[in-house]
Amino acid sequence: MSHDRSTSLTLLEQVRNRDEAAWGRLVHLYSPLVVHWCHAAGVRGPDADDLAQDVFHAVFKGLDGFRRDRAGDTFRGWLRGITRFKVQDYHRRRAAEPAAQGGTDARRRLEQLTEPELPEDTPADLGALYRRALELVRGEFEERTWTAFWRAAVEDQSPAHIAEDLGLSPAAVRKAKSRVLHRLRQEVGDLLD
């Protein structure tokens, strides 16, 4: 699917339309967060990777049912709920397996888990998510435009200072920032709250 900026669909709409590249971008954005949640709930290594695949399989199957009907409904919240359910299912299956000879304290603690609590998103988690989203659109901009955006939006420098350094007008710096943010919103829509 080409990216005609005037008719660009949000990432979720593209995934719903079975756009493979959009699916790849969605998985790229959210896989690290899902794996982080799995680790926080006691699922490690290859099991966490397998569980993340299960989560994204459920996302793919259920995406048409995701809606933002109420205030506070977010894709990340929906994804967290799917992950929590998959982690619970994982621990139930593990608890039903025969205990290993000798047992371990870790195994007993896992068996006592009833409903794993996934951690709230930290600023570091959200920062990593935003950086992955920015990676998706960076190549679409000239270096000077990207630098102006980065310094204005990320480093919070004044447009006048940036303009002086880059040989632009302050209005051009604000326009660069606006263009990149607009493109980012086109690409990921409201996935990033």
Instruction: Please name the residue that has the structure tokens 């756009």.
Output: 19
The b-or-e profile of 36-68 (16+ CB within 10 A means b, else e) is bbbeebbbeeeebeebbebbbeebeeeeeeeee
Quick check: 125 and 193 in contact, CB under 8 A?
no
139 and 60, same structural domain? no
pLDDT for 2 equals 41
130 and 69, same structural domain? no
Tell whether the model's pLDDT for residue 57 goes beyond 70. yes
Handedness of CA 3, 5, 7, 13 (dihedral sign): positive
E-assigned strand segments in the chain = none
Range of 86's domain? 1-120
101 and 72, same structural domain? yes
CATH code of 40's domain? 1.10.1740.10
CA atoms within a 13 Å half-sphere pointing along the CA-CB vector of 86? 25
Q: pTM for this one?
A: 0.67
99 and 142, same structural domain? no
Total residues belonging to the chain: 193
111 and 31, same structural domain? yes
Higher pLDDT, 187 or 143: 143
For the stretch 114-166, pLDDT in tens is: 555 666 766 677 777 888 888 888 899 999 999 999 999 989 999 999 999 99
d(CA 5, CA 19): 16
126 and 114, same structural domain? no
Instruction: Look up residue 97 and give its amino acid.
Output: E
pLDDT for 150 equals 93
d(CA 4, CA 114): 48
Q: Exposed (0-12), middle (13-18) or buried (19+): which is 176, by Cβ within 10 Å?
A: buried
Query: 86: pLDDT confidence band, cut at 50, 70 and 90?
Result: very high
Query: Which residue, of 66, 90, 120, is where some domain finishes?
Result: 120
Please count the structural domains in the chain: 2
Instruction: Please name the residue that has the structure tokens 């493979």.
Output: 20
Query: Which residue, of 96, 120, 144, is where some domain finishes?
Result: 120
139 and 109, same structural domain? no
pLDDT for 103 equals 55
Query: 4: pLDDT confidence band, cut at 50, 70 and 90?
Result: very low
User: Which pair of structure tokens corresponds to residue 102?
Assistant: 């000798």
86 and 103, same structural domain? yes
CATH code of 161's domain? 1.10.10.10
Quick check: 87 and 41 in contact, CB under 8 A?
yes
d(CA 90, CA 75): 22
Query: Which residue, of 87, 120, 153, is where some domain finishes?
Result: 120
